[in-house]
């Protein structure tokens, strides 16, 4: 597999990670970082953050140890701002706002959102109706907890379309509809704003969905209210 490189800097690259590709080696003969190093003709690349196997979209990889350390700091200090797109068949309890709560382990590898807020997961969201029984969500995680966005969507009563762990009737859906669409950050005094639309999934190709993505703040035509 050759990965699409969306941005190449002397210290890092940003690639498109397809849905279904793990950032870890799993059972594959060659892991993602080794494949990328081979593709670039370099000895090593550094994984500085992660996307779930089911999630497509933007992934940063450092090209040297120094930039890997800098990105680790930026992520730890929440200086890298991420926007995700998601689809759901279910109308949420509210159309926009904040989802805040502690996350605790549940059964079968799942997590659940609690009412307590000692070390909460925080997600800002907005949703738009695309067509009957199909809503587009813009998700901005303020923290980086495991399964945070998937749990947040379930807590709204709008599990992500195709999410086998947190939703229903996923067998008939061609993918889990969660996509890392935008990264905004500053690196060594230079500002970066990288965006990509999802490539895999029949529902992402629907005209109603494409129209709502294009007319909204994903492309800088508006701003999620604070």
Residues identified as active-site: 52
C-alpha to C-alpha distance for 198 and 211, rounded to whole angstroms:
14
C-alpha to C-alpha distance for 200 and 174, rounded to whole angstroms:
9
56, 198 in Cβ contact below 8 A? yes
Termini Cα distance of the chain: 40
CB atoms closer than 10 angstroms to residue 220: 10
Listing DSSP states for 157-173 in one string gives T-PPTT-TTTSS-GGGS
182, 218 in Cβ contact below 8 A? yes
174, 162 in Cβ contact below 8 A? yes
47, 72 in Cβ contact below 8 A? no
18, 175 in Cβ contact below 8 A? no
Which tokens belong to 129? 């109706």
C-alpha to C-alpha distance for 103 and 215, rounded to whole angstroms:
33
């Amino acid at each position: 597999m050759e990965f699409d490189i969306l941005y190449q800097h002397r210290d890092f690259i940003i690639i498109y990670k397809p849905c279904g590709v793990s950032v870890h080696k799993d059972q594959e003969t060659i892991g993602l970082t080794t494949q990328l190093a081979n593709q670039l003709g370099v000895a090593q690349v550094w994984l500085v953050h992660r996307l779930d196997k089911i999630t497509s979209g933007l992934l940063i990889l450092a090209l040297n140890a120094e930039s890997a350390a800098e990105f680790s700091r930026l992520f730890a200090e929440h200086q890298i701002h991420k926007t995700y797109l998601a689809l759901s068949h279910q109308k949420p309890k509210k159309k926009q706002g904040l989802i805040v709560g502690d996350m605790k382990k549940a059964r079968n590898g799942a997590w659940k959102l609690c009412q307590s807020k000692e070390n909460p997961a925080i997600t800002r969201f907005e949703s738009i109706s695309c067509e009957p029984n199909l809503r587009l969500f813009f998700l901005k995680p303020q923290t980086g907890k495991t399964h945070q966005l998937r749990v947040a969507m379930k807590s709204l009563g709008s599990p992500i379309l195709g999410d086998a762990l947190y939703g229903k009737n996923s067998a008939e859906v061609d993918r889990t509809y969660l996509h890392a669409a935008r990264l905004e950050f500053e690196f060594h005094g230079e500002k970066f704003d990288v965006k990509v639309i999802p490539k895999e999934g029949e529902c992402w190709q629907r005209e109603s969905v494409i129209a709502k993505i294009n007319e909204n703040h994903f492309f800088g035509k508006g701003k999620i209210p604070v």
